[in-house]
Each structure stands twice: as C-alpha cells, then as structure tokens.
Chains A and B, each alone.
Chain A
Amino acid sequence: MSRTQTLSKNTILDAVRGNQPPAQSMPTIPHFHTNRPQGNQPADLVAKFSESIVHMTGVVITENVPDLDSFLRTKFPDAKVICSAIPEYAGTIRPAGLNHWSEASTIDVCIVRSPMGVAETGSVLLSDLELQVNTIAYLAHDLVVLLDPKQIVPNIHDAYEHPHFRLRPYSVLMTGPSGSGDIGAIVVHPAQGVRTLTVILSPARNASKRKG
C-alpha cells in the first residue's frame, strides 16, 4: 500500500474510532419458518416458487421435459447458437469455447443448472461454478435454467446459507428476466440482460441433497 493510501486508511479509521457511538449488540436473526402461510412441504415450496417467479415475469415449466433439444428448438425456433453449461446436453457451443467473455453476446439461448431455488422470491442461484463464463447469463438473448424441485428452500434466510456466497467469486440470485421500470414506472423486458428466463423443474441426476 502506498504512503498516501496508508495515510488515507489511518485517517479514516482514526476518525471512525473517535466518532463511533457506544457499541451495540448484534441481534439474533431467526429464519421465520413458522410465519410462512404457504406451508413447509416440498409441494408447497414448488407452488410458492412457481407463483413467485411468475410474479417476476419468469416462466416456469413444471411438466417433465424428456427431450431438452426438442423443447429448446420448439420454444426458440430462431435460435442458432445454443450455449450449454450442463453436461447432459451439448447445445451448439460450450462456455469454454468462448474466447472472450464479451463473445457471449453471440449466444441466442443459454442453458444452465441452478443448485438452488427460493420459494419466497422465485429466485434461482447461479455462480461462476455453474456458468463458467458469467456473461452467458446476461449477454445471451434467452436463458433457460434447470432446477431440481428438491433444491427449493423456503426463504431468503435459507438461501444465504448456501456455501456459494462464502466460497464463489461470483454468485447471483436471479429472479426473472432483465427489466426496467425507469420510463414511466412501467416494467419492460429486456433492459440490458436476457429477454426471457425460463425455469424447468427437473430433478438432477444423483442429486437428492443440496450441493455446494
């Protein structure tokens, strides 16, 4: 650290130490599970998750999707570049095949698996571990996320217990497609990111417990 930086740091910390009020204690933070009106069973969590993500203009597919390729070709008939970040489906390109992170803008549809959903908000968790190239979730036109319904947690308190937030360089709770309400407070899609977000509830192979 340069001399100027050391001086700045010490000046700020000295001022803070001199001015901070008497120490107050940290409260205990409950998870509020007993307050949830929607119930605690897995089916309840799926229902609440679905309701929440639809509120945020995401799309949720609860039926079984036996043939992913056929599903994607039908849903996105004009898609030429399909980037797959899941092992069971090749797509037309893998994230590792991108030379630069900005090249993700050539992707029409991106598919990735999320390790966790949040019933309260309809969010899916993604990190650099699943995405490999973080920009594929933003620069692609459309994003499809697979989520094991068993990995849906009740609320945001539960969500932030996921190890990703302590271990991964980048994690995001993604909730619906990119949108903006900056003109006339009317939310339109997309803003700068993906046009649509589709979550397919799909049990993961060999995954009955949450994985970090």
Chain B
Amino acid sequence: MSRPIDQAENAEKFLADTVHEQRFDKLLWAIRMRRDAAAQQVPEWEELRTLASEIKEHTLSNLSGYLIQFEARATANGVIVHWARDAHEHNQIVYDLLAEQGIDALIKSKSMLTEECELRPFLERRGIRVTETDLGERIQQLDDQPPAHITGPAIHKTNHDVAVLFSQKYGSDPKNEDTAYLAGVMRENTRPDILKARAGMTGANFIVAETGAIVVATNEGNADLSANTPPVHICSVGIEKIIPTTESLAVFIRLLARSATGDPITQYTSTFRGPRKGAAMHVILVDNGRSARLGMKRFWHSLKCIRCAACMNTCPVYRRSGGLSYGSTYMGPIGIIMMPTFEIRKYSELPFSSTLNGSCTHVCPVKIDIHEQIYGWREVMEENDQIQVVKKEAMRVADKVLSHPALYQIATASVSTALEVLPHFAIYNRLNVWGKHRDVPEAGPETFHEWYRNHRPDHRTKTNEVER
C-alpha cells in the first residue's frame, strides 16, 4: 500500500526557495486578475457559467447515449474509435497502433490524460521516442519532471532555469535568458521531429457527439501540427469530455480561454472530424476511473471540469506551494478532489491542502462546487480513518465555519484584494502546516479560532445552513 502524499512536506522545498515561490505566486495571481478582467468584459458571463454547468450535467447524466452517438458519427466520418477501460489498456492501444506500422517516433501535443496514464514512459520503455511539442511540456520532459500546472506545465521555472536546461540539452547559449530566444531554440530543435514524424498525438478539450468531432485548443498551433503533419493522428480523450452539439461547444469556447489566461480565445481552436485522404485518425475513449466517479453522489460533479486551471491560479495554497508538491497528475483544488478517486490512500491528505476559502468555486467556469467537495473528501478520509490527528482538528474548525453561512460568506468573499491577502491570515495558524513559512501579516494577526469566535453570528436559520 502506497504511503500518502504529504503535500505540505513537499511544499517546504518549494517555500525554501523564495525566488521561485514569490515569482510563482505573483505570476499566477496576475493570471487570475486577467481572468477577472476578461470575465467582466462579457455581460452574460454568469449566464454562460450556468449554461456550461447545465450542459455538462445534462451530458454526464446521459453519458452512455452520447458516447454511443459519438462513436457512430466518428466512425461514419472515417475515424477509428477505440475504448480503453484503464491507463494500461490505453497505453497498449497506442503502442499497438504504432508498432503495427513499425513507427518508432511520436510527436504529441500536451494532454493531461496521457500524463494520467503515464503514456510516455510506457512507450519509451518499448523503444518509441516521444517528442512533446508544447513548449512548457517539452521543458518538463527535458527536465524529467511532470507538469506543475495543467495549462502552463513549466510555469514554476524561471527564464534562467530554462536557459540552463536548454544549454544542457540543446547546446544553446546558457547566458541568453530572453524568452523569445528560448522559444526559438525549442522551435528549431522540435521542427525536424515534426517534419519527419509518421504519427502524431493530441488530447482533446471537447468531443462532440452530434458530429463525431474532437476539439483541441492551443496557443502554439502544436496540436494542429501534430495532427496534420504526419499521416497518423491518434487522439486520447476521457469519456467525460463529451458535449452534445456544436451549438453547445460555443458556450465552452467562450469560457475556456478567458478562464485560463484572460484571452477571449486561444490562438488555435481546432475541430477534427475525420482523417484527410490517405491518412488515418484514431480516437481512444478512456474511462480510467471516470465511470466509477460518475456513481459518487457527492463527487461526480468534478467530471464537469474543462481543465482551465482557474481554480489553481486563484488558490492560495497552490500559489504558495508549487504544482509539483501535490505529487499527482492533477494539482490544486481540482486535483485534490479528483486524485482520491484514483487512489484513496495515496491521496488521502491532499484534501487538506486548502483553506476552504471558496475562491476556486467562484471562478470555476462550469460551477463545480470545488470547496464543498474538498470538505466532503475530508469527511470521507475521516470516515476511512485515513488522516492524521492534526488534520482531523483542522477539519473540525472547517466544520464549524461551514455550518454558519453568514460567516462562511465572509470567509469566501470574492473581493480580489481580500483573497490576495487571505492566505496570510488563513494559512498562518498552527493547524495549517503551509503556514510555517509565512510571516504573520501586520494587519489581521488573529488566529483562525479567534477570527471565528469574533465573527460568530448570534443566530442562524435552518434554511441558511450549508447543504452537505
């Protein structure tokens, strides 16, 4: 049985390096602010969030029918559809597709699903050379690290880090830390692999049941290159990524990039319906625990996730502990509610990597009740006796706060400035191990207990109680 990941312990290494920690925090907060500005430009933003949530809930509650529809339409378009129950089966399908044509090199664009399945090491052990074509993902591949962020895999690295890495791997100038220069080094070194590749792989942000299409969003155009240049395109996608129609796709495209980076759309939002003449297109529909999660009454809503990372960018714990500290494929608030569904013991402590401030829920474009699920997972861990004593105490505090809606609303105030400083008082108390490295701020030196006592409302009504 695997030892639980101790995110707080792992975060200590990150926190000890103040250069990286402070820069990371600042970068992510800036992205969060850009997201806010973008959302404010769209008058119907909240309506779009509601629609996105409803469309996802509709689709997930009719998932079997939509999967069958997708398979039929994609097959009619000339796509070969495969089904993978788990990571191993997925990896084996990819390997077999390559091996049967004698292909020993693969170019691929970023896909969290293939990270989840640990595809790259699986293929490399069998003699397939894999080249990641997303800049951040390639940096992480060269550095032999998993992604630290789901949309910016190498966002924790400084220009200096990348310059040194590229000089070691590509022989480039270690002193030239210019971002454009470094991106150029990557382009020059990856382009030959793209041009000679016989197979390319992508993930998918969405698949459309009505048309049998897959939809991929990138800024670099690397998915389009990976899918279009070689004669074989393999797309891996989780079964939860399906949406009913092209009409509904519009809702998600309007939300995705704005939530992720603050831009109205990614540079390339591409729809692949079928192979070009003389080429092959494969789509692998992957379960790997998703159908089981669909049956979890309290937690199935996490399947609505569109992987924008807005919840991570806003999370005070994520911003101050780095993505690698979670020791998991998915990190931050969405990660800590998804990972226990894969392996409950290993990820039993992740749900405590949260202040339960609720900001993740506020920014989620598909309205996943993330902080309530985090709390729910804490209860599950307690019921399963998976947690240490100190964390049980932390949960009891959270329990009290969550039972007082008015107070809870104060705690989850969405005012940006409040959230920006929130970690400095919310993290620093003896029950939160992330707080060990934080200074007590000059204003607001209360402990969480004191704050709670001082703000405790005198009365509460049953109708206002937080539903659990």
Question: A interface vs B, CB < 8 Å?
Answer: 5, 8-9, 11-13, 15-27, 29, 32, 35, 37, 52, 55-56, 101-102, 105, 120-123, 128, 134-135, 137-139, 155-157, 159-161, 165-166, 168-194
The reply to whether A20 and B63 contact each other, CB–CB distance below 8 Å, is: yes
Chain B residues positioned under 8 Å from A35 (CB to CB): 43-44
For the complex, what is the distance from the CA of A176 to the CA of B47, rounded to whole Å? 28
Q: Are B246 and A160 in contact, CB atoms less than 8 angstroms apart?
A: yes
Let me know if B196 is at the binding interface, CB within 8 A.
yes
Report the separation of the CA atoms of residues A179 and B64 in the bound assembly, to the nearest whole angstrom. Answer: 37
> Which 5 A-B residue pairings sit nearest by Cβ, starting from the closest?
A193-B221, A19-B295, A182-B136, A191-B220, A15-B291
Interface of chain A, main secondary structure: loop
CA distance A13 to B228 in the complex (A): 31
In angstroms, how far is the closest chain A Cβ from the Cβ of B290? 8
Name B251's closest neighbour in chain A (CB-CB). A29
Q: Is B446 an interface residue (CB 8 A)?
A: no
Q: Which residues of A contact B210 (CB under 8 A)?
A: 166
Q: By the criterion CB–CB under 8 Å, are A8 and B89 in contact? A: yes
CA distance A183 to B265 in the complex (A): 20
Kindly name the residue among A128, A156, A182 whose own CB sees the greatest number of chain B CB atoms within 10 A: A182
Q: Given A16-B67, A128-B276, A180-B135, verify A9-B83 contact (CB < 8 Å).
A: yes
* CB–CB B292/A15 < 8 A: yes
Task: Please give 16 more A-B residue pairs, beta carbons under 8 A apart, in addition to A19-B291, A138-B229, A180-B136.
Answer: A16-B239, A19-B292, A20-B294, A26-B58, A120-B254, A123-B265, A139-B225, A139-B229, A156-B265, A166-B246, A171-B270, A181-B152, A183-B162, A184-B159, A191-B183, A191-B220
Number of A-B contacts (CB under 8 A): 260
Chain A residues contacting B191 (CB-CB under 8 Å) are: 105, 192
Interface presence of B195 (CB below 8 A): yes
Q: Tell me if B18 counts as interface (CB < 8 A to partner A).
A: no
Q: A9-B83, A29-B251, A170-B228 are in contact. Are A191 and B264 (CB under 8 A)?
A: no
Interface check B253, CB cutoff 8 A: yes
Complex alpha-carbon distance, A156 and B179, angstroms? 32
27 A–B contacts from the bound complex (CB under 8 Å): A13-B67, A20-B63, A21-B60, A26-B54, A56-B264, A120-B254, A122-B264, A123-B269, A138-B224, A138-B225, A155-B254, A165-B211, A165-B271, A169-B78, A169-B275, A170-B273, A171-B273, A172-B268, A173-B253, A175-B264, A175-B269, A178-B268, A181-B152, A182-B134, A185-B155, A188-B180, A193-B222
A56 and B270 alpha carbons, distance in the complex (Å): 17
Contact digits for B231-270, partner A, Cβ 8 Å, 1 yes 0 no: 0000000010000101111110110000001011111111
| Residue B380, interface by CB 8 Å | no
Binary contact track B47-69/A, C-beta < 8 Å → 1, others 0: 10011001101101111100110
Q: A9-B83, A16-B63, A56-B263 are in contact. Are A29 and B247 (CB under 8 A)?
A: yes
Residues from chain A with Cβ under 8 Å of B244 in the complex: 26
Contact present for A173 and B265 (CB under 8 Å): yes
Chain A residue at minimum C-beta to C-beta distance from B221:
A193
Chain B residues whose C-beta falls within 8 Å of the C-beta of A8 in the assembled complex: 83-85, 89
B283 within 8 A of A: no
Known: A15-B292, A16-B63, A170-B272. Is A176-B246 also a contact (CB below 8 A)? no
Task: Report whether A12 and B273 are in contact in the complex, using a CB–CB cutoff of 8 Å.
Answer: no
Is the pair A29, B248 in contact by a Cβ cutoff of 8 Å? Answer: yes
Contact B63 A182 (CB under 8 A): no
**A24–B267 touching, CB < 8 Å:** no
- Quick check: is B87 within 8 A (CB to CB) of the other chain? no
Chain A residues, CB < 8 A from B228: 101, 134-135, 138, 170
B266 touches A175 (CB 8 A): yes
Of chain B, the residue at the smallest CB distance from A23 is: B61
Taking a contact as CB atoms under 8 Å apart, the answer to whether B222 and A192 are in contact is: yes
Q: Are B64 and A183 in contact (CB under 8 A)?
A: no
Contact with A along B184-206 (1 / 0, CB 8 A): 00110011001110000000000
- CB < 8 Å: which of A166, A174, A185 contacts B267? A174
Q: A166-B246, A184-B27, A192-B133 are in contact. Are A27 and B275 (CB under 8 A)?
A: no
Task: Find chain B residues with CB under 8 A from A21 CB.
Answer: 57, 60-61, 294, 297, 300
Min C-beta distance of A141 to chain B, whole Å: 11
Minimum distance in angstroms from A25 CB to a CB of chain B: 6
C-alpha spacing A187/B151, complex, angstroms: 14
Known: A56-B267, A102-B195, A185-B152. A13 touches B68 (CB 8 A): yes
Complex-state Cα separation, A88 to B211, whole angstroms? 33
Assembled-state Cα–Cα distance A150/B295 (Å): 49
The CA of A157 and the CA of B249, in the complex, are separated in Å by: 9
Q: Which residues 424-457 of B have a CB within 8 angstroms of A?
A: none
Complex CA–CA separation, A138 to B155 (angstroms): 25
**B residues in contact with A56, CB < 8 Å:** 263-265, 267
